Amino acid sequence: MSDPRLDYFNEYPVEIKGPDISCYKKVGTGPNYIVTIDSGFSGPHVMVSAIVHGNEPCGAIANDWFLKHDFRPLKGKISLGFMNIEAYEAFDTDNPNKTRWVDEDFNRLWGPGVLEDHTRKKTYEFHRANEVKEIISSVDFLLDIHSMQTPSVPLMMAGMFKKGVEFAKKVGMEISIISDSGHKEGMRLRDYNLFSNEQSKKNALLVECGQHWETSSKKMAIKTLIKFLRSFKIMKEEFGLEYLSENLNDKVNHILKVEKIVTINTNNFVFEKNWIGFEKLKKGTIVARDGNKIISAPFDETFLIMPTKRFIKGKTAVRLATNFKGY
């Protein structure tokens, strides 16, 4: 765990820590840390994936909550996946940013041919992604649980196609839905293979549950898992109702489309203000400076989506979105 780019100051309190997941290392015949519960009856194969980034514990908390309650589907099968194990197990409350990944970002490896390119560097994340890609390919519907660097409002990332936005509406979380294409650096797990094929019935969502270590993020993760599974009518009617009765201060559903992805091109990138995300700016407002280049809000109503605190050349700095006008 030695990537110096991740060694930067953390300004937020660590209110939560992930559970011990060692008991899920080898359950069944699948890859380590993937638990599949098969009803024995025909139905969809759905997956909830967690800790794609090692410093985002809320997804592990949600999956652990489900598994500890011994829930079972009425039809189809459910897989609960814990992804970046080494990064997660190295989590350090004194330096929580440093354990996002071991060698590289696990969530940028899912483009066509990337995992089949055995001429590239054999990182831990590359090895782990190859371990789990077969079962992910068998999944019909995926929920990938994440959290954010800043205390921004939760978001549902639905991908670039209508099917993703409609899926997000069906799940029914009262949080903003973002239609987006991901990152220039590489494709995300939610974009893998047929999830990003407009004609395929397979579908995936990525939920951002709030700031990484806020107590509210674990509640949002569990609630999203519940509503995701309930949307397929594969659970008992009473499943999760006690959680859904809690007021989590969800934001009214709002659909935005990312029209511009700002990628860091120099070692002198700086935001104009300490943005936290979801700020609404007027056209022409200066957002950031990248070397000599000024980056301004391009739309009459420009929303800032997930501004980074890691100013790493080649990484996404922020996504610029505007009101969704339909497909």
With respect to residue 83, please indicate whether it lies within any of the assigned structural domains: yes
Task: Answer yes or no: do 215 and 303 share one domain.
Answer: no
Q: In the predicted model, is pLDDT for residue 12 greater than 90?
A: yes
Q: For 229-270, how does the pLDDT look when each residue is reduced to its tens digit (9 = 90+)? A: 999 999 999 999 988 876 555 545 789 999 999 999 999 999
Per-residue pLDDT reduced to its tens digit, 271-288:
999 999 999 999 999 999
Is residue 250, in this structure, part of any structural domain at all?
Answer: no
Q: Is residue 251, in this structure, part of any structural domain at all?
A: no
Q: Write down which residue in 244, 276, 300 finishes a domain.
A: 244
DSSP letter string, 77-132: EEEEEE--HHHHHT--TTSGGGGS-SSS-GGG--STTTTT-TTS---HHHHHHHHH
* Same structural domain, 210 and 315: no
User: What digits encode the pLDDT tens for the residues 36-65?
Assistant: 999 999 999 999 999 999 999 999 999 999
Residue 230 lies in a domain: yes
**pLDDT (0 to 100) of residue 5:** 84
Percent of the chain topping pLDDT 90: 90
Burial letters 191-217, b for 16+ CB under 10 A, else e = bbbebbeeeeebbbbbbbbbbbbbebb
Task: Say yes or no: 51 and 170 in one domain.
Answer: yes
Closest to 317 (Cα-Cα) out of 280, 275, 283, 281 = 275
pLDDT tens-place string over residues 139-156: 999 999 999 999 999 999
Position 108 pLDDT exceeds 70: yes
> Which CATH number do you get for residue 239?
3.40.630.10
Do 123 and 181 fall within a single domain? yes
- Do 292 and 195 reside in the same domain of the chain? no
Domain region containing 263? 258-323
Looking at 244, 269, 293, which one is the last position of a domain? 244
Rounded mean pLDDT of the chain?
A: 95
Q: How many domains is the chain built from?
A: 2
Q: Which of 302, 80, 68, 106 is CA-nearest to residue 189? A: 106
Residues 142 and 170 in one domain: yes
pLDDT over 80 (residue 33): yes
Q: What percent of the chain has pLDDT over 70?
A: 97
314 and 218 in a common domain: no
> What is the band of 2 on the pLDDT scale with cuts at 50, 70, 90?
low
Residues 160 and 218 placed together within one structural domain of the fold: yes
Residue 174 falls inside a structural domain: yes
135 and 164 in a single domain? The answer is yes
User: What is the model's pLDDT at position 279?
Assistant: 97
Residues 32 and 62 in one domain: yes
Q: Is residue 240 domain-resident?
A: yes
| Dist. CA 319–CA 304, nearest whole Å | 6
Single residue among 182, 213, 244 that ends a domain in this structure: 244
Asked if residue 292 and residue 190 are part of one domain, the reply reads: no
Is position 252 within any domain?
no
With bands split at pLDDT 50, 70 and 90, how would you rate the model's confidence at 1? low
Question: Which CATH number goes with the domain that contains 277?
Answer: 2.40.50
What pLDDT shows up at residue 118? Answer: 86
Same domain, 144 and 234: yes
pLDDT per residue over 293-308, tens digit each?
999 999 999 999 999 9
List pLDDT tens digits, range 196-220. Answer: 999 999 999 999 999 999 999 999 9
CA atoms of 248 and 58, how far apart (whole Å)? 15
